[in-house]
Chain A
Amino acid sequence: EIVLTQSPVTLSLSPGERATLSCRASQSVSRSYLAWHQQKPGQTPRLLIYGSSIRATGIPDRFSGSGSGTDFTLTISRLEPEDFAVYYCQQYGSSPYTFGQGTKLEIK
């Protein structure tokens, strides 16, 4: 099983700032099959990024993903108020499909 470790656990930033979230895998993620999901309080998760760097339909271009192998990054270039949420990375290259524990992005 691939274990995903996200850092930091909590990130406190202000609107307009740049956010950088990290996801590290215990072994190489096959074909860079790494996704990022956003979850706001009381809502279902939403797919943001898949294939490490491909934005899902309707996702603003301030969201970008990068990485390969065992190290992946989600960057939000300029934070909007609606971006404050919990972000999960997920690998779907091999079963069991695992999630990281999440990074909570909170308003400073």
Chain B
Amino acid sequence: EVHLVESGGGLAQPGGSLRLSCAASGFTFSGCAMNWVRQAPGKGLEWVSVISGNTFDIKYADSVKGRFSISRDNSKNTLYLQMNSLRAEDSAVYYCAKKRDGSDSMGLFDSWGQGILVTVSS
């Protein structure tokens, strides 16, 4: 069974940094593209970033490009999101999401973590 557990969230000041982690189990992590998706309180879903299994292909939403960095450690089955220059509008629940097996698009995901709350406020 696929299991995704996010950690590293919390309160950060505007302009500050946080690093989120997503521990994965129940599937072959190294062969699977992984995404980050966020949801501001009471709002809809927003795709943030994706990384391929071999790390060669990385994409970002324009809203985070240049500030956020996605990475992974396949030896630890862990996905990361380094968030710098944080803004109030980055406040959201952040989900890691696994690409659906067999999809030739990295952006189709069928398993989600429970999410971790990030609050950016002074």
Chain A residues with CB under 8 Å of chain B are: 1, 33, 35, 37, 39, 44-47, 50, 56-57, 88, 90, 92-93, 95-102
Contacts and interface: CB of A to CB of B under 8 A. Distances in A.
**Size bin of chain B's contact surface:** 20 to 34
Contacts of B114: 44
B96 to A, nearest CB: 11
B100 A95 contact: no
B68 interface: no
Contact of B108 (A33, A46, A88): A33
A99 B112 contact: no
B62 A56 contact: no
Most buried by B among A46, A93, A95, A100: A95
A60 B29 CA distance: 28
A97 B44 contact: no
Given A92-B107, A93-B105, A99 B100 contact: no
